[in-house]
Amino acid sequence: MRIITYNVNGVRAAIKKGFIDWLGTDPADVICMQEIKANKEDVDTGLIEQLGYETFWFPAQKKGYSGVAIFSKIKPDQVSYGNGIMQSDFEGRVIRADYGDTTLINAYFPSGTSGEERQGYKYQWLDEFFDYLGQLRQSRPKLIVCGDYNICHKPIDIHNPVSNKNSSGFLPDERAWMDKFFQNGFVDSFRHLNPDPHHYTWWSLRANARNNNKGWRIDYINVTEPLKSNIKAATIYPMIKHSDHCPVYLELGI
């Protein structure tokens, strides 16, 4: 199974920048998108379906905000919309697809950059999501959890860890949550195969950050330990430019 996670920063905007042409190159079997900022009826899905993808959408209730979607060439056995937590589901943050005994979770973690209230919600959401995954793993131990986590885990994952030490996305409590996450049986698929620095998935639109590769690695495809030996390839595609993020790829034998 070839999987891509991609914060498209508005799927309609991405389509105007060649997103569907890129889908036509067969980049993956399953495309997990975050921040779609659209409902299914806002997009001509016929063009996407012609490429062999079935589309599953979980938009936010608020128009033009947040939302997640899965485009899949492999028919899932079941798709679940939301994680049953009211505010998270109102904001369209989690969609789940089951493929045999493997479960794929596509999640858009909240950002805390707009102020203390949203930073507080981010911590609440992280705790709720951790509990949700823990309960799910009891019956579905083979999990893939992909998406925009809005957190850099280690100094290697951010271009300037010193100047960003007080920035949302690299705060000690956020990074401690990532420590807990990985200590509880999840594997960072990209780092499993790529220990070297200077790999990022998001760049500020200011100061020519992308061309200078001054970025953050905040998008992940992480798997539970039972899938660790199935990791075949893990790559980041910084040259794909439909968004301020770029796609992250995982090839998994399942």
Give the mean model confidence (pLDDT) for residues 86-91: 98
* pLDDT at residue 228 tops 90: yes
**What rounded mean pLDDT belongs to the chain?**
97
196 has catalytic annotation:
no
User: Helical H runs in the chain?
Assistant: 11-16, 19-23, 45-49, 86-90, 116-139, 172-183, 189-193
How confident is the model over 172-198, as pLDDT tens digits? 999 999 999 999 999 999 999 999 999
- At residue 246's C-alpha, the angle toward residues 13 and 18, to 5°, is 40
| Average confidence (pLDDT) over 205-221 | 96
Number of domains in the chain: 1
Evaluate if residue 67 carries a pLDDT over 80. yes
Judging by DSSP bridges, how do beta strands 68-72 and 54-58 pair with one another? Answer: antiparallel
Given the residues 29, 148, 157, 219, the one annotated as active site: 148
- At residue 40, the pLDDT reads 96
| pLDDT tens-digit series, residues 194-207 | 999 999 999 999 98
**Alpha-carbon span 22 to 243, nearest angstrom:** 13
Please state whether the predicted TM-score (pTM) of the whole model is above 0.85. Answer: yes
Q: What is the pLDDT of residue 181?
A: 98
Q: What is the pLDDT of residues 115-140, one digit of tens each?
A: 999 999 999 999 999 999 999 999 99
Q: What CATH number does residue 167 fall under?
A: 3.60.10.10
Average pLDDT over every residue of 154-165: 97
User: Which band of pLDDT confidence, cut at 50, 70 and 90, is reported for residue 254?
Assistant: confident
* Radius of gyration of the chain measured on its C-alpha atoms: 17
DSSP-assigned beta bridge partners for residue 30: 3, 72
Range of the domain at 202: 2-252
